[in-house]
Every structure is written in C-alpha cells, then in structure tokens.
Amino acid sequence: MLQRADYVDHAGDQPLGDGTLTDLLDRAVARWGARVALDYAGVEIGYDALKRHADRLAAALLARGIGRGRTVALLLPNTPWHPIALFAVLRTGARLVMISPLEALRERMHKLRDSDARLLITTDLFGLSDGARALREAGAVDDILVASDGYWSGTAESGLPEAEPPSFWPAIAPDDIAALQYTGGTTGLPKGAMLTHGNLSAAVGSYRACSALWDPLPDPVAPERMLAVLPLFHIYALTTVLLRPVVDGATILLRPRFDPATTLHDIAVRRVSLFPGVPTMWIALLNHPDAAGTDFSSLKMCVSGGAPLPFEVQRKVEALIGVPLFNGWGMTETAPAGTRVPPGVTPRPGLIGLPLPGVSMRIVAMDDASRVLGVDEIGEIAIQGPNVFAGYWNKPEATKESFRDGYFLTGDLGAVDKEGLFTIVGRRKNMLICSGFNVYPAMIEGAIYEHPDVAEAIVIGIDDAYRGQSAKAFVTLKPGADTLTLEALKSFLKDRLGAHEMPAALELRDALPRSPAGKLLASVLEAEERAKAGDAA
C-alpha cells in the first residue's frame, strides 16, 4: 500500500497551480489548439473554438459594464453554454454564482440577492428561460441572457451578445474570487463560499498530482474521454469534470442529464475512458437490463463521490465495469479536493483515505479545536491547503468561527489511524447527503412549518439504498386538523423545496420528543430509526 510519506516526498514534483482559471484555458488552447474539447449532441467543439466563443461573449459583457466587483449568475445545465459563459464571466474579472435547476424558487432568489448578481445567463433548454424570467419579474435580477440550444444543431442564432475582444483584458489575480459556491448550515439560509481562482487552480493541481502518483498520466496523443453527466454547477463536477480535463486536454462528453441507457452507449460506442459519478448513477447502471452486455473495456478510471457507496454495491459495480471504483472525500469549501483512498487499501466503513498532495488534515477536539488529537481518537476533521476557501461571503463571524489555527473546521467527525488514513464516523452538523447533494433538515423543517395544519416538525435522514440518504419528516398537527398524507405534503412543498430536498417519508405523531428544556430532539428519532433498521436486518 502507498503510505502517506511516499507521496508527501514526491508531491513537490507536481505544481499545484496558483494561477487563474483564464490562464488555465489560455494554456490549454496554446497546447491543444483545435483538439476536441466538448462533444455535445453530435457537435464537436475544439479548444480554440471554446476560447473564441468565451472571449467574444466576455467582450460583450464588458461593454455592458460587467467586470471587477460584479457577480453574474449561471442557470445552466451541461451544455457548451456552461463552460463558455463560465470562462467569459471570469475573463471580465467578475465572479460567478451557480444556480441549480433543481432548486426551489426561494433558494434561487436568496442566492441571487445575497450574491448581488444582477445579470443571469441561462438557456431555453428544459424551460429554464421561463424560470429566469420569473426571477426577473420578482426583482431578483435586472437582466437575463438566454442562450439557444438550437445553435448547436444549426437551427437558431446563439441568443448571446458578442463583440470583438479588446487588446487587453482586465487584470485578474489568483486571490480574486472566481465563484460564490453556496453551501448550507444547520440553521438559516445557504452561505456563499468564496472560492478564489487560486483555490480552484490548486484543487485541480492537487488532483493531478495524486493521479501522477497513482494513475496513468493522460496520453498526449490519444486524449482521454471524460463523461460529463454530473451537473457542472456542482463543485465536484466543476473541478473534476470541467477544469481538470481542460488542463489535461481531454474531450468532455457533455450530457445535459444522466440517462442509464445513454451512458452505457457512451461507454461502449463513444469509448469513454473517465467517468466520475455518484452512487445513484452507479446503482442505476448496475440495475439496467443492458449493463451485462455492455463493453466497458474503454474505461480507465471511475470515481464514486458525493455520498457513501455501500460495499456490496461497489463490489458489484467493479465486477461489472472491470476497473476499480475509487472514492474519497471533499467539500464545497475545499473546492472540493480533500482525500482519496489509495490503491491496495482494504475498504472499511467510513474510510476516506489519505489527504491529497498539498493538503494537510488533522483531528481536533470537539471542545477545543486548538487541541490536536492522536491516533484513533475521534474528533472533528480540520483541513488546510491552498484549495481551502477564503471564507463566507458577507459573513465575517461565520468565517471566523469556521477556522482555527489556519485550519478549516469541517463539521465532519472522524479519526486518523497510524498509517495516516482518515475515517469519517459522523457529522457534527445535522446535514444529509441525498444523491450527492447537501440537504439541510432545518430548511425542510422551515418549509413544512408553513403548512397551515402543521404544529411541529422534525426532519432526519434515513438510509436510502438508491439516494444514499433521504429526508423523513415527523409531524404533529394543530388541533382540529384532519390528517396529512405524504402526497399532500409534497404537493404543498413543491414550490418551496427542490426535488432532492423533498421528504421521502412522513410520520404523524401526537407529540415529538423534547429535552427537559423543551428543545425538540431529532437525536431520539434518529435512534428509533436506527433501531428499526437493526430489527429489519
């Protein structure tokens, strides 16, 4: 097994990168030229064409007053317009905020208002332009730009403004904020994690340094083919599915949605070699009737991230695809570089592996984050590195509370063994991971409390064989209320919560557990659910 010291000694040979994301694209174009960067709906777009589209849009945005100090929102699925708009906005010196098509209206509005994004770029695909217009009508943004998906099939104009690039672009520094990537907490609304150009460049460099030690390097003659079904608005995909492949000169097969049959075809026929996914995707492929007859021989490296994958499922997937399924750990605040399980390590529950090159981690006491714990002692995982975010947007107190002695306090509880391998045992903060997305019970509870018949509510996470975790709501009703079904609750919540946040189960109770001080106790219900699961097993 590769020991921690083995790659600490060699990590210095791999520069982690401290440049800007526009430098990243410029270097890729200089090296790869017309090599195919994006494969979308039968259209191939070269690296040079990607830069040309992005630069012309950037010039038009500059003419509209977009530049340093401004925030631009992207409401885009996996189409070429996403990387084009991303690099265009960054070229102006402005910062980005990613808006998820899965989010409810109220969360979109919060992100836009909190980030002060007054311009939103979207597309006419999947009805997203209608949602963008609703945001403009609600006053959440001043202006929207709608890119036409038909442009790529030659049936429509692009829909986006263009202009001749200037002689000189605005100066951008590694410390400049590239993206406000929103992440939640146990209370309140999501916070914007300030990820700088340097943070994201370092994360890409960290992943590449790890691969240089553990995986075959990209072939400069025959480029790797990356399957991009993970949404690029998610930090995991932004770094590993878009930015890193651009550095490596890979061809990115952009797919707007995950479809098991299409994915199997891409692997067998389009010869995908790299495929990062989340557990729900691997489970869907495993259960697809065509999976057994699919040729997986093109695959070189596959990753499962975003949520834990059961051992039994991992073994079945590896037997199906014929290559190891790697996994690790990271967070929005780490861009999301953190750890990876090395080759040859025996899997065990909660294992997340070694810190990536350039990253330092330790376990600290929960009652005193300045006190570093020893081997096999359980505490909070703390992380430090050039990839770690600059703080929370407009929240200096939350930022201060999240760091101690230069380390970011992750909220995850774990331990480190004598070989330097980290294991997660639980979460300090009450957060669920559903299909790879962070879901916060407090936000769900807040939406449920808006129902006129609800007296009290507690939301906890329950095991879900497909999604990893799902939300379950425990509710007491107000006197005189008739009843409440799960279907009726979902109908009420459809405009208040995203699909990934929707409760999968509902239990009505006469009373909810409380502490002597009167505080509602989710921990009691979590213990009950664990006992039920144990009895069922």
Flag the least confident range among 93-97, 160-164, 450-454. Answer: 450-454
Asked if 269 contacts 226 with a C-beta cutoff of 8 angstroms, the reply is no
Residue 376 confidence class, pLDDT cut points 50, 70, 90: very high
Decide which of 191, 225, 257 is a domain's last residue: 257
Mean pLDDT, the chain, integer: 90
- Exposure on the CB side of residue 357, measured as CA atoms within 13 A: 24
pLDDT of residue 445: 84
Q: Is residue 249 part of a domain?
A: yes
Cβ-Cβ contacts under 8 Å for 518 (sequence gap 6 or more): none
Q: Is residue 324 part of a domain?
A: no
Residue 186 confidence class, pLDDT cut points 50, 70, 90: very low
Same domain? 449 vs 396 = no
Q: How far is CA 131 from CA 58, 126, 500, in A?
A: 24, 10, 18
Q: Is residue 136 part of a domain?
A: yes
Asked if 109 contacts 182 with a C-beta cutoff of 8 angstroms, the reply is no
Q: How far is CA 145 from CA 49, 60, 75, 160, in A?
A: 21, 12, 10, 6
- Give the strand pairing for 95-98 and 71-75: parallel
- Alpha-carbon span 113 to 96, nearest angstrom: 13
3-state helix, strand, coil in the chain (%, to 5): 35, 25, 40
Q: Is residue 386 part of a domain?
A: yes
Q: Report the number of distinct structural domains present in the chain.
A: 3
Residue 521 confidence class, pLDDT cut points 50, 70, 90: confident
Dihedral over Cα of 264, 268, 271, 276: its sign:
positive
- Exposure on the CB side of residue 107, measured as CA atoms within 13 A: 31
The DSSP output letter for 7 is H
Same domain? 516 vs 395 = no
pLDDT at 364 over 50: yes
Residue 438 parent element (H or E): strand 437-439
Quick one: tokens of 210?
């790890």
pLDDT at 98 over 50: yes
Same domain? 59 vs 145 = yes
Q: Is residue 303 part of a domain?
A: no
Q: Is residue 388 part of a domain?
A: yes
pLDDT at 310 over 70: no
pLDDT at 330 over 90: yes
Flag the least confident range among 67-71, 80-84, 340-344. Answer: 340-344
Secondary structure E strands in 465-536: 468-477, 505-508
Same domain? 103 vs 240 = yes
Q: Taking residues 36-53, what's their average pLDDT?
A: 97
Kindly write down the DSSP assignment for every residue of 24-89, as one continuous string.
HHHHHHHHHTTSEEEEETTEEEEHHHHHHHHHHHHHHHHHTT--TT-EEEEE--SSTHHHHHHHHH
The DSSP output letter for 94 is -
Quick one: tokens of 376?
């096999």
Most confident of 66-75, 321-330, 471-480, 517-526: 66-75
Residue 185 confidence class, pLDDT cut points 50, 70, 90: very low
Decide which of 388, 404, 427 is a domain's last residue: 427
Q: Taking residues 462-466, what's their average pLDDT?
A: 86
The DSSP output letter for 221 is S
pLDDT tens track for 396-438: 999 999 999 999 999 888 899 999 999 887 666 667 778 888 7
pLDDT of residue 6: 47
Determine the structural domain holding residue 28 and report its residue range.
21-257
Same domain? 153 vs 64 = yes
pLDDT at 283 over 90: no
Q: Is residue 5 part of a domain?
A: no
The model's pTM: 0.83
Same domain? 121 vs 29 = yes
List 162's β-bridge partners, or say none: none
The DSSP output letter for 166 is P
pLDDT of residue 110: 94
pLDDT at 479 over 80: yes
Same domain? 124 vs 237 = yes
Q: Is residue 423 part of a domain?
A: yes
pLDDT at 360 over 90: yes
Q: Taking residues 381-385, what's their average pLDDT?
A: 97
pLDDT of residue 220: 57
Same domain? 229 vs 96 = yes
Same domain? 423 vs 464 = no
Percent of the chain at pLDDT > 90 equals 69
pLDDT of residue 183: 87
Decide which of 427, 445, 471 is a domain's last residue: 427
Collapse the DSSP code of 426 into the 3-class scheme (helix H, G, I; strand E, B; otherwise coil) and give the result. Answer: strand
pLDDT tens track for 202-256: 999 999 999 888 876 556 567 999 999 999 999 999 999 999 999 999 999 999 9
